[in-house]
Amino acid sequence: MRVVLTIFITQILFFSNCSSVLKNPEYSNDEEDTFSEWGPIEINKTTNYITDKLNDYLKNNTSKPFLEFLKIENKSSEHIDTSLLENELKSKLIKNKITFIDKSKRKDTLKEIELDMKGIVDEKSKIRAGYLLSPSYQLKGEVNDVVRYIGGVKKQLIVINFTLLNIETNAIDWQESKKFSKNYNTSTIGF
C-alpha cells in the first residue's frame, strides 16, 4: 500500500509541476499576460498600438487613402489565429474612418453591372459603372518569433510587423512592429 501511495504522490507532484511550468512565463516590457501561448491580451495590445501608429501616419496624408488588407502571415512557431487579429485591426481602423477595398468582390459587382447594362435590373436598384475604387495602399502583416533555450528557460520573442505599401510607387511608406518577450521555465521535474 505504501508503494502505491508513494507512486501516487510522486505523480501528483510531477504533473502539478509540469502544469505550473506552462502557465507561468515571465514577461519583459511590462507585458501582463500569464499564459505561454498567444492570446487576447496580445491581440488587444497589438491592435491598439498598430491602429494608433497607422492613424498618426495616415492623418498627415494629403489625399484620402484606400487600403487593401492582405492576409497576415504567421511565420512563428506559435499557433496564432491571424483572422482574429485582422478583424480587430480592420474594425478599429474603420471606426477611425479608414476605407478598405475588398477586391475579392469585384467579379460579383462586375456581373451585376453587366446585368444592369442588359436592362434586366430595375432602374432604381442599378449599380452604376465607373464607381469602383482601387486601393492606394496594401497593408500587410507578418508574425515571426525567435526561440532560445537557456538553462531550462525558454526565451521567446514574438514580433508582429505591419507594412504599408504604396501601390502606385511600390514604395514602403510606413512600417511598424509590436514585440512580446516571454520567458518561462521548461524543466519538467522539481520538488
- Residues with Cβ within 8 Å of 127's Cβ and at least 6 positions away in sequence, in order, are 109, 112, 113, 116
The pLDDT value given to residue 146: 94
Assess contact for 81 and 43: CB atoms under 8 A. Answer: no
Is the overall model pTM greater than 0.75, yes or no? no
Secondary structure of residue 46 in the 3-state scheme: helix
pLDDT beneath 50, residues of the chain: 5, 13-34, 191
The pLDDT value given to residue 186: 76
162 strand-pairing partners: 141, 176
Q: What secondary structure letter does DSSP report for 29?
A: T
The pLDDT value given to residue 55: 94
The pLDDT value given to residue 22: 40
Question: How far is 8 from 29, CA to CA, in rounded Å?
Answer: 40
Question: How far is 165 from 129, CA to CA, in rounded Å?
Answer: 27
The pLDDT tens digits of the residues spanning 35-66 come to 567 788 899 999 999 999 999 999 888 788 99
Question: How far is 160 from 78, CA to CA, in rounded Å?
Answer: 12
The pLDDT value given to residue 78: 86
The pLDDT value given to residue 3: 56
- Residue reference for cell 509540469: 18
